[in-house]
Chain A
């Protein structure tokens, strides 16, 4: 077999796969953040907690009601999205006329409360969630072994990301969303119910986080801190891609996951910080982000 710079291909491909998996979660989560920030001007710090709630939702559905993975993949995002809608209606909607900082503080506080509640009832050790039977096992691709479930996570993430992109950039509903992101007052003056659109958009963004959480449940253990650990990296991804850019969030998410994986192969010591180093460089050279359009 061929070798690259002394690295056996199995190792390289293995780390690339892990990078792609991480990138899938970065992409789906930063996409949700970008959609929410675009229309609501809220930096949704509760996103990690909502991702965790998605994973717990799947675990609870299985353990309390016997509902399995596939229905949970739909149900858990709907339930968590509905909780998000309730939060938006009762709390977040009061902050739209204030500085970003207030939204960030509120959602950060909510994240701490939600994570605290889950820690209180479920502890921090993590709960197991089995890979659904249909996706157990794996494929031998010759140069590497691909576990079926990991392949599924990548495919599902790509489909959801590009589905969301298509909906926003190419449909009539998306044109309302883009217009309201630019000038909500004028869109309202055309007779469109902008507050309802904002509420549903927040619910959708939260639902995306929960969907990522369900996808993550069989890979990472389901625990109250799973989102808090991930969300800091996701915020770095969003900063690199540019706040509010849909395609930017998707491409940056997958791209940085891969870069992180490659760093783990070639310079393992740097893998934990590579994304933050890139963030610092991007902030110095192009503060609005790689895909951001206004300085």
Chain B
């Protein structure tokens, strides 16, 4: 199967293939071996979640895809091109953008500087005006220090700034963590709107109800491996199994 898809990618049959193919991905933080062979695919235009308990390796998987680990091994192919030996900035230039778990809003930059920091890497990114239309709070507070925003506003800013870059493949790490329900709904609407516009999204989530409201498929991560895949339409049928995985 792996060989077949790889060959197909090389022969250019992109429409039937995964946009992102992760195979046998291993990752380390310093000395500690966190990922033990992660396998999954993401197709063009899909929203896919990584579900799992704390410490299962979801965030590490996202970081490994982006090239942010000290050491990684295996295979991560973006549109058929191997990225495992590339540095983060080269991976970013292939059209992958990250919204990190800790949000990564810069304290020494204003809201507007935070928003315009990531350079445009491709055509088709959202304009500043369109972003301010989507997130009116950011416009109102554009001169404020980035970290003076509320948690929800910082999360909006962290998502908004990667929409400007033209990258169509987004890695969102727990965008709803610690936010009020009304903000979570707004983020859900934003993700759905992005999907309609053709963005491909990998979403790390603890909150599987939220995940179910936006995603096409769910991968379950456990002890540094993908142990199961559940299509969103089969979620109800698999709810017991999922509860067991997540320990809820």
Query: Which of A179, A190, A194 interacts with B109 by CB under 8 Å?
Result: A179
Query: Which of A172, A182, A188 interacts with B89 by CB under 8 Å?
Result: A188
Q: Is A178 an interface residue (CB 8 A)?
A: yes
Chain A neighbourhood of B93, CB < 8 A: 191
Chain B neighbourhood of A188, CB < 8 A: 87-89, 92
Q: Is B163 an interface residue (CB 8 A)?
A: no
Number of chain A residues whose Cβ lies closer than 8 Å to a Cβ of chain B: 18
Query: Which of B92, B107, B117, B121 interacts with A176 by CB under 8 Å?
Result: B117
Chain A neighbourhood of B162, CB < 8 A: 190
The distance in angstroms between the C-alpha atoms of A176 and B106, with both chains bound, is 10
The distance in angstroms between the C-alpha atoms of A185 and B98, with both chains bound, is 11
Shortest C-beta distance, B51 to chain A (Å), equals 23
B165 touches A190 (CB 8 A): yes
| Residues of B near any A CB (own CB < 8 A) | 66-68, 87-89, 91-93, 97-98, 100, 104, 106-109, 113, 116-119, 121, 162, 165
B104 touches A186 (CB 8 A): yes
- Residues A191 and B89 in contact in the complex (CB < 8 Å), given A175-B109, A179-B109: yes
Known: A179-B117, A191-B165. 11 other contacts (CB 8 A): A172-B116, A183-B104, A187-B117, A189-B88, A189-B98, A190-B119, A190-B162, A190-B165, A191-B89, A191-B92, A192-B119
Shortest C-beta distance, A195 to chain B (Å), equals 9
The distance in angstroms between the C-alpha atoms of A194 and B121, with both chains bound, is 16
Shortest C-beta distance, B182 to chain A (Å), equals 28
28 contacts between A and B (CB under 8 A): A175-B109, A176-B117, A178-B106, A179-B108, A179-B109, A179-B117, A181-B108, A182-B108, A185-B88, A186-B100, A187-B117, A188-B88, A188-B89, A188-B92, A189-B66, A189-B67, A189-B88, A189-B89, A189-B92, A190-B92, A190-B97, A190-B119, A190-B162, A190-B165, A191-B165, A192-B118, A193-B89, A194-B89
Chain A neighbourhood of B66, CB < 8 A: 189
Give the residue name and chain of the B residue nearest to A196 (CB): B89
The distance in angstroms between the C-alpha atoms of A18 and B206, with both chains bound, is 64
Residue among A181, A187, A188 with the most chain B CB within 10 A? A188
Chain B neighbourhood of A185, CB < 8 A: 68, 88
Chain B neighbourhood of A192, CB < 8 A: 89, 118-119
Give the residue name and chain of the A residue nearest to B106 (CB): A179
Shortest C-beta distance, B5 to chain A (Å), equals 27
Give the residue name and chain of the B residue nearest to A176 (CB): B117
- Residues A178 and B121 in contact in the complex (CB < 8 Å), given A185-B88, A189-B68: no
The distance in angstroms between the C-alpha atoms of A194 and B67, with both chains bound, is 14
Shortest C-beta distance, B136 to chain A (Å), equals 23
Chain B neighbourhood of A176, CB < 8 A: 117
Residue among A186, A191, A192 with the most chain B CB within 10 A? A191
Interface residues in A188-221 (C-beta closer than 8 Å to B): 188-194
Shortest C-beta distance, A57 to chain B (Å), equals 33
Give the residue name and chain of the B residue nearest to A193 (CB): B89
- Residues A182 and B106 in contact in the complex (CB < 8 Å), given A188-B87, A194-B89: yes
Query: Which of B68, B100, B108, B118 interacts with A191 by CB under 8 Å?
Result: B118
Chain A neighbourhood of B113, CB < 8 A: 175
Give the residue name and chain of the B residue nearest to A189 (CB): B88
Residue among A176, A182, A193 with the most chain B CB within 10 A? A182
Give the residue name and chain of the B residue nearest to A185 (CB): B68
The distance in angstroms between the C-alpha atoms of A188 and B69, with both chains bound, is 12
Chain A neighbourhood of B67, CB < 8 A: 189
Give the residue name and chain of the B residue nearest to A168 (CB): B108
B121 touches A191 (CB 8 A): yes
Shortest C-beta distance, A99 to chain B (Å), equals 15
Chain A neighbourhood of B104, CB < 8 A: 183, 186
Shortest C-beta distance, A15 to chain B (Å), equals 37
B109 touches A191 (CB 8 A): no
The distance in angstroms between the C-alpha atoms of A183 and B108, with both chains bound, is 11
Query: Which of B87, B89, B117 interacts with A175 by CB under 8 Å?
Result: B117
A190 touches B118 (CB 8 A): yes
Give the residue name and chain of the A residue nearest to B120 (CB): A191
Residue among A172, A175, A186 with the most chain B CB within 10 A? A186
Interface residues in A110-142 (C-beta closer than 8 Å to B): none
Chain A neighbourhood of B68, CB < 8 A: 185, 189
The distance in angstroms between the C-alpha atoms of A8 and B93, with both chains bound, is 67
Shortest C-beta distance, B28 to chain A (Å), equals 14
Give the residue name and chain of the B residue nearest to A170 (CB): B113
Chain A neighbourhood of B121, CB < 8 A: 191
The distance in angstroms between the C-alpha atoms of A181 and B108, with both chains bound, is 9
